[in-house]
Amino acid sequence: MKKSSGKVVGFEISSQDPEKAAAFYSNVFGWEVAEPRWDFREVSTGNQENGGIDGGIGKGPSDHPHGTRIQIEVDSIERAMDKAKENGAMVVRDIMEFDDFYLAYLVDPTGIGFGLIQNK
């Protein structure tokens, strides 16, 4: 089995006013923001010509109401979570299943939140 890539594949901006945040980033940086799905708006920051990491804007939960998290792609979300916990991380949202991927949220030992994503 191949080793987890560990590459950053997306970002997530959490806001208590996601509509306002979406308008801001769209107006200032020209990001394309999709209509909400699961109270989450997919965001495109670039294209094949100019690159860019895509992500999304959503309403932040009470435990992480504002801020930005990177999403890190892994081959096995369970193994990555185990390794992260062994190295001092805390799980704040256990594995959630979506149509095409699994997602979990953790906080590293310094308090920085991040997401782990495993494609199906």
Domain count, the chain: 1
> Are 13 and 19 within 8 A, CB to CB?
no
Determine, yes or no, domain membership for 60.
Answer: yes
The reported pTM is 0.79
Determine, yes or no, domain membership for 1.
Answer: no
Determine, yes or no, domain membership for 3.
Answer: no
Distance of alpha carbon 72 from alpha carbon 20, whole angstroms? 26
CA atoms within 13 A on the CB side of 78: 1
Determine, yes or no, domain membership for 48.
Answer: yes
Alpha carbon distances (Å) from 80 to 32, 54, 113: 31, 22, 15
Distance of alpha carbon 84 from alpha carbon 90, whole angstroms? 8
Residue span of the structural domain in which 48 resides: 8-119
Distance of alpha carbon 26 from alpha carbon 107, whole angstroms? 28
* pLDDT digit string (tens) for the chain, length 120 residues: 445 578 899 999 988 899 999 999 999 888 999 999 878 999 998 766 767 889 999 987 766 667 888 999 999 999 999 999 999 999 999 999 999 999 999 999 888 889 999 999
